[in-house]
Structure 1
Amino acid sequence: MRSAIGKIRPFFQTRSGSVPVAVFVAIVAALVVVAIFAPLIAPYSPNSQNLLGRLKPPGTVARGVTYWLGSDELGRDLLSRLIHGARISLSAAFLSVMLSGCVGVLLGMLAGYVRGWIEIVIMRVVDIFLSIPAILLAIITVAVLGPGFINVVLVLALTRWPRYARVAYGQTLSVAGMPYVRLAHAMGAGRGRILSLHILPNIVAPLSVVATLEFGLMVLFEAGLSFLGLGVQPPASSWGAMLSVGRNYVSTAWWIATFPGLALFLLVLSVNLIGDRLSEFLNPKSR
């Protein structure tokens, strides 16, 4: 137990004068807890309307309802919608990262280890996907498949798997020539065993950094699609959809767009800084 803590402790040690990474880890952890227990934490139903309490500023009490962060154009509690929106944003980002990571890592390792025509086909497909702007590809694909939570997850995974494939391919090329990999092959180990037991554990570190940075990007992509009306559909709450509504009331109800924007800012900033710190921690040359 002590040895495990000793290995993790350097990750939280930052240079003097900089904000401790533990602060950003705490922010992400708090948002994850809020997303998991949203029905228990939210003071009201996110879809409960109160037309007499529409567009109320933060701290207003109307018909027995306290709007701690204000209300939207339909009198719905903004705090409750923000809490439930965290569940949608985080779950969409997590599922898309897992799906795109699994597909990209598998194809990248196959291309880097098997080589031959498999390498040529996979890497040319990767080049084609990477040549198209990811957000443009996501918008076109969602427009074809239709909006919805499942389609958003599939689209985000479809547009981002080449990033994992590229990293896994390069790392596999460097690991495949190691003596222990050649020895395992000489002793009759199959490709699946070599890839899963000898190559994958040695390329997890850079892939973890990519996944961390991609998580923040997936949050932004989901918010962008919802902002354009191509993501999760009403009445479900989504930070991007709340921003889309809030832009129409910036001058009269600033809180509708401000609080979801701050939540997105804090989450993406925290995840990116954790990813940067993780990259430094896993790369001995940067220490």
Structure 2
Amino acid sequence: MSRVQAMNVARSGLSWWPALLLATLVLLAVFAPWIVPVDPDRQNLLGRLKPPGFEARGQVFWLGSDELGRDVLSRLIYGAQVSISVAFLSVALSGVVGVTVGMIAGYLRGTVETVLMRLVDIFLSIPAILLAIITVAVLGPGFINVILVLALTRWPRYARVAYGQTLALADRPFVTLARAMGAATPRVLLTHILPNIAGPLLVVATLEFGLMVLFEAGLSFLGLGVQPPTASWGSMLSTGRSYVASAWWIATFPGLALFLLVLSANLIGDRLSDQIGKGR
């Protein structure tokens, strides 16, 4: 076997694990109420800051306990529920807005194109995390507001991709024919253009998923995301930084979970990008 063949075999053998890891984290989030060892908000002050594996009153703290004696494992699982829910909903909302704007601008051209794409340029010129922090500070923290803020800051990326892809398809024969046969603009966009640009948009959505997880964790770390006592990886990291020397597990395990979730999403996005590139 040549070196190239060996590398291809190794790559194909390792390509499944990001999807398996992401699926595992999603399942943990979905079934969190049924699989957590104990209520994530249950306090046990006599068992505070206990290391992984400690047992107290018949309860085993598999990943240790935090400063209030709450089980880190239970809070980590519920934190996955928050992070994945926020990421999924914000990706869906920003994708719908951005794709709609991009397709309309690329298809209608003219003044509509100029106005919409300059609006996209304005949003892209503002640092996303800064815009998110300012908007959350105005609207207030909370689950719904975080989703709206993340969607507001990230829709221009979808718009850019949808705009470029639509421009490339707008003058293709099958689109021109549909227009000549009297198809309305919404029908042309939804039936003829959107299915042909779905691949690149799916890649963007996959990569944005990991970024949304990081943004949500960053906002929660700053106290602008999901509010206590609701478990969030970002808030767990914020709490754990004060106990790094004495209780390293409080920050380490949420940080590791964030790393694995974002890594798996990015690897899946890269894999999708390679497959779409090969298919063209």
Q: Counterpart of 1:15 in structure 2: which amino acid?
A: N
Q: 1:46 aligns with which of 20, 28, 40?
A: 40
5+ residue gaps, structure 1: 1-13
Secondary structure, counterpart of 1:235 in structure 2? coil
Match of 2:154 in 1: 160
The answer to whether the aligner puts 1:26 opposite 2:20 as a matched pair is yes
Q: Distance in 1 between matches of 2:276 and 2:214?
A: 26
CA distance in 2, matches of 1:91, 1:285: 31
1:280 aligned partner: 274
Q: How does 1:160-199 map to 2 (within 5 A)?
A: 160-199=154-193
Q: Are the aligned partners of 1:104 and 1:163 in contact in 2 as well (CA < 8 Å)?
A: yes
Alignment match of 2:118 (pick from 124, 131, 134): 124
For 2:205, the equivalent position in structure 1 comes to 211
Question: Residue 101 of structure 1 is aligned with which of 71, 95, 103?
Answer: 95
Q: Could you tell me how far 1:118 is from its partner in structure 2? A: 1.0
**Structure-1 separation of matches of 2:129 and 2:218:** 9
Report the equivalent of 1:8.
none
Tell me the equivalent position of 1:9.
Answer: none
Aligned partner letter, 1:221: F
2 CA distance for matches of 1:261 and 1:154? 24
Q: What stretches of structure 1 move > 4 A for 4+ residues in a row?
A: none
Task: Write the letter of the residue equivalent to 1:133.
Answer: P
TM-score, normalisation: structure 2 = 0.96
After TM superposition, the structure 1 = structure 2 runs for residues 57-96 of structure 1, keeping only pairs within 5 Å, are 57-96=51-90
> 2:131 maps to which residue?
137
Secondary structure of the 1:237 match is: coil
CA distance in 2 between counterparts of 1:16 and 1:244 reads 42
Cα deviation digits, residues 109-134 of structure 1 (max 9, x gap): 00000111111111001000001110
> Within 2, Cα distance between the matches of 1:253 and 1:15?
43
1:37 is the counterpart of 2:52 = no
Which SS does the other structure have where 2:192 is aligned?
A: helix
Q: What is the alpha-carbon distance in structure 2 between the residues aligned to residue 191 and residue 227 of structure 1? A: 44
Aligned residue runs from structure 1 range 261-272, under 5 A: 261-272=255-266
Between the aligned partners of 1:136 and 1:16, the Cα distance in structure 2 is 43
Is 1:15 the counterpart of 2:15 in the alignment?
no
Residue deviations 1:26-48 (CA, integer Å, cap 9, x gap) = 00000000000000010100100
Give the share of equivalent positions with the same residue, in percent: 71
Among 229, 233, 236, the alignment partner of 2:227 is 233
> Residue 53 of structure 1 contacts residue 63 of structure 1 at CA under 8 Å; is this kept in 2?
no
Taking structure 1 as the reference length, the TM-score comes to 0.93
For residues 179 and 88 of structure 1, the distance between their equivalents in structure 2, rounded to whole angstroms, comes to 46
Work out whether residues 61 and 67 of structure 1, in 8 Å CA contact, stay in contact via their aligned partners in 2. yes
How many residues align? The count is 273
Q: Is the 8 A contact 1:232 1:238 kept in 2?
A: yes
Whether the aligned pair in 2 keeps the contact of 1:53 and 1:62 (CA below 8 Å) is yes
**Secondary structure of the equivalent of 2:55?**
strand
Q: Which runs of 5+ in 2 are unaligned?
A: 1-6
Mapped partners of 1:118, 1:241: distance in 2? 42
Alpha-carbon deviation of 1:285? 7.0
